[in-house]
Amino acid sequence: MKSIKFAENYQMARILAIDYGRKRVGIAVTDELQITSNGLTTVNAKEALGFITDYCKKEQVEIIVVGDPRQMDNSLSESARYIEPFLGTLKKHCRIYPSTEWTKDLPQSWLFKP
């Protein structure tokens, strides 16, 4: 059987996904080929920015996706008010691109470039 050889230095960057909560923050990440994703960890909300910053220094991250919780009628959920200060801090560390693609029953997200 012939093996497939990839370019030696070819590496894609990961996508980091954040589910921000008032007390805890869930963090998931894709593999380097962006084919699969797995939960990485859950951290205390006060430690989330430091963890994300450190992770982005250790691993090559292309995009950070932060969930924007919405009700079924597309109004902001109660937890959205806790995300705004976090987004403001994250914006200082990353370039921000708001995602405009969403459906009525799926939450909108914010995309960041580390």
**What's the pLDDT score for residue 67?**
81
* DSSP code at position 70: B
Fold classification of 14-113 (topology level) = Nucleotidyltransferase; domain 5 (3.30.420)
- pLDDT of 106 reads 44
Backbone φ/ψ region at 34: left (φ over 0), alpha (ψ -120 to 50), beta: left
pTM: 0.72
- Contact call for residues 81 and 93 (beta carbons, < 8 A): no
Exposure of 43 by Cβ count < 10 A (0-12 exposed, 13-18 middle, 19+ buried)? middle
Domain ranges of the chain: 14-113
Q: Name the more confident of 98 and 15.
A: 15
Whole-number mean pLDDT of the chain? 77
Higher pLDDT, 68 or 83: 83
Strands of the sheet containing 95-98, edge to edge, are 37-44, 24-30, 14-20, 61-68, 108-113, 95-98
pLDDT digits (tens, 9 = 90+) for 86-107: 888 887 877 655 554 443 344 4
Chain centroid to CA 11: how far? 19
pLDDT digits (tens, 9 = 90+) for 30-52: 998 888 999 999 999 999 999 99
